[in-house]
Amino acid sequence: MSDKRNMMNYCPEIKVVDATLRDGGLVNNFMFTDEFVSDLYKANVAAGVDYMEFGYRASKTMFNPADFGKWKFTNEEDLRAIVGTNETPMKIAIMADAGRCDYKTDILPKKDSVVDMIRVACYIHQIPLAIDMIEDAKAKGYEVTCNLMAVSKVAGDDLAKGMDMIAKSSVDCLYLVDSFGNFYPEQIANLAQKYVTAMNGKQAGFHGHNNQQLAFANTIEACRWGVNYLDVTVNGMGRGAGNCFSEQLLSFLKNPKYSTMPILQFIEKHMLKLKAEGVVWGYDIPYLLTGVMNSHPSSAIKFTKDKRTDYVQFFHELVENE
Amino acid sequence: MSDKRNMMNYCPEIKVVDATLRDGGLVNNFMFTDEFVSDLYKANVAAGVDYMEFGYRASKTMFNPADFGKWKFTNEEDLRAIVGTNETPMKIAIMADAGRCDYKTDILPKKDSVVDMIRVACYIHQIPLAIDMIEDAKAKGYEVTCNLMAVSKVAGDDLAKGMDMIAKSSVDCLYLVDSFGNFYPEQIANLAQKYVTAMNGKQAGFHGHNNQQLAFANTIEACRWGVNYLDVTVNGMGRGAGNCFSEQLLSFLKNPKYSTMPILQFIEKHMLKLKAEGVVWGYDIPYLLTGVMNSHPSSAIKFTKDKRTDYVQFFHELVENE
């Protein structure tokens, strides 16, 4: 497969997926104000964003709603309070996390929901469960993606086997997810081709993390090789080092329907305030180190929260726990 | 040309060039303490860095030494106060800026200097002057690079003609310089191949800016295509959005002689203090916008210095001045 996309033109099949509330919710425990969520929805519509992921639909038997903001659960009524019946071109997505949701009961038939797309997140060993979730959501009438996480930890030919199983399901799109911000663009190019080939005419997506300041570079590299569903978050807000910035990708894409301006406006009004209130995300040295080491960012998140700056000691700790 | 570099191995011909004092000096007017410079020198030696650029050798008739820190001029005696006779494997570079230095008198014969390499910086219209500077430095006994700036503004076939002229000089290495942080990796891949081909067995280098958080991605992309001289700065310290971070590139390169640890130690001791003192550099939205617009970062630097956050208004101003 050669990369044939012409940088002077655009591909209408590319879809920008805003995941600010969902991945950003991991930073602030989903404690967004209604005004924030409503303004983000309007900004995304104005910016031409194709899908907006509002949050998880987590199990209320496993997680206590008193402990989280509402977008951990993304109840139908909370969603409708923001979007009404969503009379816009932008579609609405929620994430269902394998093993952490009651999908059979909590995901309503599409006819009773304003949600358009269910994103099923799973690890490699959960693929049979994920496929059951995919078939459930598909039968209920949704578009469905599978977000296969932490593939930088998947050894041998497990990934090829897993991709093959997912491709044979009713899923519409399989996401390449760089959970630990470990991959370099050269590796993303290689993986993207494998995902696009495995999906055989169905879609592939990319969700990056910015541990090495490569989330944007990896997103546009994946895009070069035919990956069409591209995740972003406003100002890169997401767990640890965060994600590809909406404002970066929208500046790059040349489809006239996209505009960076509404996102800049939203940042002026909301994101600067969030940062001033002490909500912390984005590239920093501890995330670089967990990215390079292919480690879960939790230790770097703790390091940052503890306001430590002894990077060398942290690196030693990482090496010891490898 | 195909990219044949094996990511599991390393290429001994790759050279890491630290430009912290020179590009970082543009942030703080070269006001580094002697302890900072001495510790940076030691950290770079310990990290296996191949070249360290100490600063400019600017004209003292054009610039008043009272207005700048000493690394704007990098006098031989100031250099020797830090490095003695530099009994280390690391080589020492200084930058001579076309039109802003008295190279005939101020660049000593190599036998009288601890400097190993002269980096001649120029714009496309200054190539004949740059070639005179290159031949002068070469005749005095130095390694010489040409850092051709702002090529994202060079139209038509001027670049090809300019590269050809430089390649025919005595220069050892021609740098691809993304002064405005405008290029995407796909464009860097294309340009890198042109530079490597034009240099025909001599060396090519890359110097990036981080306006779009692509400095690291562009550096390793250039490297894939045979560019061997790779500029970095510690913590990315450089004008505006800064540069490719030393700690990113050293973590990526697999040559066993490189170590990230001494750089992390240096950051702990010095860079955090510099930032706490209010020295500002690094990715931010105004730099993204000048990068995307292929504009000089000066307006974004002013915006940041003025502590403005009206991004939308700034974008309008940029578009008006295009």
Is B8 contained in some domain? Answer: no
Q: A95 forms bridges with which residues in the sheet?
A: A56, A119
Contact A288 B247 (CB under 8 A): yes
Contact B247 A221 (CB under 8 A): no
A294, A217 Cβ separation under 8 angstroms: no
Is B3 contained in some domain? Answer: no
For residue B116, give both structure tokens: 């190993």
Contact A311 B285 (CB under 8 A): no
Determine phi and psi for B173, rounding to 5 degrees. Answer: -155, 135
pLDDT tops 90 at residue A5: no
The runs of H, that is alpha helices, within chain B are 20-28, 34-47, 76-83, 103-106, 127-139, 158-168, 185-199, 215-224, 246-252, 261-266, 272-276, 285-292, 298-305, 311-320
Per-residue pLDDT band at B1 (split at 50, 70, 90): very low
For residue A204, give both structure tokens: 């592939």
B129 and B241, same structural domain? yes
3-state secondary structure A119-183: EEEECHHHHHHHHHHHHHHHHHCCEEEEEECCHHHCCCCHHHHHHHHHHHCCCCEEEEECCCCCC
Whole-model pTM above 0.90? yes
| Residue matched to tokens 């040309």 | B1
The 10s digit of each residue's pLDDT in A247-271 is 999 999 999 999 999 999 999 999 9
Q: B176 forms bridges with which residues in the sheet?
A: B148, B206
Residue B111: exposure state from Cβ atoms within 10 A (0-12, 13-18, ≥19): exposed
The 10s digit of each residue's pLDDT in B117-128 is 999 999 999 999
Q: How far apart are CA A101 and CA A119, in angstroms?
A: 12
B73 and B54, same structural domain? yes
Chain B: closest CA distance from residue A267 (Å): 9
CA distances from B211 to A47, A249, B281 (A): 21, 13, 11
Contact A220 B251 (CB under 8 A): no
A132 and A21, same structural domain? yes
CATH number at residue A89: 3.20.20.70
pLDDT tops 90 at residue A2: no
pLDDT tops 60 at residue A1: no
Q: A interface mutation test: which of B4, B249, B251, B272 has the most A CBs within 10 A? A: B251
Is A104 contained in some domain? Answer: yes
Q: Which residues of B touch A220 (CB under 8 A)?
A: 184-186
For residue A196, give both structure tokens: 């696009």
* B60 closest CA partner among B52, B68, B51: B68
Q: How many separate domains does chain A show? A: 2
B298 and B210, same structural domain? no
Calculate what percentage of chain A has a pLDDT beyond 70.
99
A289 and A147, same structural domain? no
B291 and B153, same structural domain? no
Per-residue pLDDT band at A57 (split at 50, 70, 90): very high
* Predicted complex ipTM: 0.95
For A288, the closest chain B residue by CA position comes to B248
B140 and B88, same structural domain? yes
Is B50 contained in some domain? Answer: yes
CA distances from A65 to A68, A69, A70 (A): 6, 7, 7
Is A266 contained in some domain? Answer: yes
Contact B251 A288 (CB under 8 A): yes
Contact A216 B216 (CB under 8 A): no
User: Tell me, what's the pLDDT at A239?
Assistant: 97
* B106 closest CA partner among B81, B142, B82, B131: B142
User: Tell me, what's the pLDDT at B7?
Assistant: 87
Q: How far apart are CA A246 and CA A215, in angstroms?
A: 11
pLDDT mean over A169-192: 98
Contact A267 B245 (CB under 8 A): no
Interfacial residues of A (vs B; Cβ cutoff 8 Å): 7, 184-187, 210, 212-218, 220-221, 224, 245, 247-248, 251-252, 260-261, 264-265, 267-268, 272, 283, 285, 288-289, 292, 309-312, 315
pLDDT mean over A202-228: 98
Expressed as residue numbers, the domain containing A293 is: 285-320
For B292, the closest chain A residue by CA position comes to A251
What is B160-180 written as a DSSP string? HHHHHHHHHSS-SEEEEE-TT
User: Tell me, what's the pLDDT at B3?
Assistant: 53
The 10s digit of each residue's pLDDT in A80-104 is 999 999 999 999 999 999 999 999 9
pLDDT mean over B57-77: 98
Chain B: closest CA distance from residue A269 (Å): 9
User: Tell me, what's the pLDDT at A4?
Assistant: 66
B214 and B76, same structural domain? yes
* Nearest beta carbon to residue B288 from set A186, A247, A261: A247
Is A75 contained in some domain? Answer: yes
Q: How far apart are CA A99 and CA A123, in angstroms?
A: 10
* B55 closest CA partner among B92, B87, B89: B92
A314 and A195, same structural domain? no
B306 and B272, same structural domain? no
A286, A303 Cβ separation under 8 angstroms: yes
pLDDT mean over A162-171: 98
B298 and B201, same structural domain? no
A239 and A214, same structural domain? yes
Is A1 contained in some domain? Answer: no
Calculate what percentage of chain A has a pLDDT beyond 90.
96
pLDDT tops 70 at residue A180: yes
The 10s digit of each residue's pLDDT in A269-320 is 999 999 999 999 999 999 999 999 999 999 999 999 999 999 999 999 999 8
Interface A:B, Cβ pairs < 8 A: 100
Is B29 contained in some domain? Answer: yes
pLDDT tops 60 at residue A187: yes
If DSSP codes are grouped into helix, strand and coil, which group holds residue A41?
helix
- Mean pLDDT for chain B overall: 97
Q: Which residues of B touch A187 (CB under 8 A)?
A: 7
Angle at B204 between CA B200 and CA B209, to 5 degrees: 150
- Range in A3-17, A39-53, A201-215, B231-245 with the lowest mean pLDDT: A3-17
Q: A148 forms bridges with which residues in the sheet?
A: A122, A176
For A182, the closest chain B residue by CA position comes to B252
For A292, the closest chain B residue by CA position comes to B251
B151, B191 Cβ separation under 8 angstroms: yes
